[in-house]
Amino acid sequence: MTLKTIRSRRWSSIPAVALALGLILFYSGCTTIKDTARGTVRAVSDTSRKVTGTFTAAGSDVRNKIALIGVENQPAVNSSLFPAVFQKTLAANLKTDCPECIVDAAVGEVLKSPPRLASGPIDGYALGLIGRPRGLNYFVVGTLSDSRLTDEKTGFWLWKDTRYKIRAVLRVEVIDSATGTKALDETLSGETVIDELRHQELQDAGLLPFAEIEPILNQLLPEAGYRICSAIRSQPWQGFIVGTEDRRITISSGSAVGLSPGRMLEVYGGGRVVESSDGRRFVRPGDRLGEARISSVSLDQAEAVLSQPIQTNPGGTVRLK
C-alpha cells in the first residue's frame, strides 16, 4: 500500500466522522436551543406583563373580589394538599401581578368544592347565589385533572435513549357571579424530567406523591394567574344590591375593594334567569334604572342614595359611572 493510498483513506474518513459529530451536537443541542428560546420568550412576556399590569377595567381603581377553590380529580398520595397549595400560591401570584383583584381567602377555606349539576359541570348559577351577598365578583376553580408518569423515545441510531417524565394537567375556570357564566376555561399542562430509577420507584409505588407534582404546579400557576387576570381585567366592575329602603340601597362591597363616599353608580335591575337545554341556568343582565351616589362605606358594605325614586329590589347590580 502506497503512502498516497494511506493518506487518501485517512482524509476520506474525516467527513464521516465530522458528520457523525455534527449530528450528535445538532440533536443534543436542539433541546438547549429550544429551552433557551422558550426562556427568552417567557422572560420578555413576564416583563411585559409587569409593565402593563395596571388598572384598565373601566379605568377604575376599584378591585374585583375573587375566591379560589382547588379541586383534586386525579388521585394522588396526599392529594388533599392540592387545594391549599393552589390557593396559597395563586393568591401570592395575583397579589404581585394582578392589582385588579383582591382574594377572599375565607370562602376558599369554607367552600371545599363548587356546586355541580347532576351532569357534572360546575353550577355557575348556584355559585353566583353564594358570591353576590359576599361581594364576590368571580370564583376561580382550579382542578388538578391529571397527573401521571410518562416516557418518550429520543435520539436516533446509536444515540437512542428514553426520557422519563412526570406530567400534570391543571384546568382553570373563572365563574362570573353576576351571570353564572364562564369568563375563562383553559387547560395548562407541564412536565418535569426524572431519572430511570426514580421513574421505576414511582411506578412500583402506584399513586404519585403530591411532592412530585407540586414543582410542576409551581411552573403552571404563574401562567394561570396571568390568564385569570387578563380575563377579569377586560370586564367592568360590578357591585350587588343586597338591600333597599326608600331611596337608599345597600351594596355588598365597601372600602376593601376601593369604594368611597361620593362616587356615582349606575343602577341596574336584577335581570332574568334563563335556562339552557342541558339544565344550566344563567342570569341575563337587567336594564339600567338610574343612578345613585355612595353616602357611606364600611369594609364590606356601602350605602348609596338614589338620584330619583325608582323601583329597586335586592338582586340588582351597580356599576361605576
pLDDT score recorded for residue 311: 83
Burial of residue 257 (number of CB atoms within 10 Å: 0-12, 13-18, 19+): buried
pTM beyond 0.85: the answer is: no
How many angstroms separate the Cα of 233 from the Cα of each of 136, 139, 164, 226? 15, 14, 39, 10
Q: Please state, in angstroms and rounded to a whole number, the distance separating the CA atoms of residues 122 and 138.
A: 13
- Beta strand segments in 126-259, E: 138-154, 161-176, 182-194, 239-245, 248-251
pLDDT score recorded for residue 313: 85
pLDDT score recorded for residue 205: 84
Least Cα distance to 94 among 125, 63, 129, 57 occurs for 63
Q: In this predicted model, what pLDDT tens digit does every residue of 89-103 receive, in sequence order?
A: 999 999 998 988 999
Would you tell me how many other CB atoms lie within 10 Å of the CB of residue 171?
A: 18
pLDDT score recorded for residue 215: 94
Least Cα distance to 306 among 263, 273, 267, 280 occurs for 267
pLDDT score recorded for residue 21: 44
pLDDT score recorded for residue 271: 86
Secondary structure of 105-130 as H, E, C letters: HHHHHHCCCCCECCCCCECHHHHHHH
The amino acid at residue 277 is S
pLDDT score recorded for residue 43: 38
Cβ atoms of 68 and 86 closer than 8 Å: yes
The tens place of each residue's pLDDT in the chain, 321 residues long, gives 443 444 444 444 445 444 444 444 444 433 332 333 333 334 334 433 443 334 444 446 899 999 999 998 765 555 678 999 999 999 999 999 898 899 998 887 778 889 999 888 999 999 999 999 999 999 999 999 888 898 887 766 666 778 899 999 999 999 999 999 999 999 999 999 988 998 899 888 888 889 999 999 999 999 999 999 999 998 889 999 999 998 999 999 999 999 999 999 999 998 899 998 888 999 998 999 999 999 999 999 999 999 988 888 889 999 999
Which cell is 43 given?
422572560
Q: Please state, in angstroms and rounded to a whole number, the distance separating the CA atoms of residues 188 and 166.
A: 14
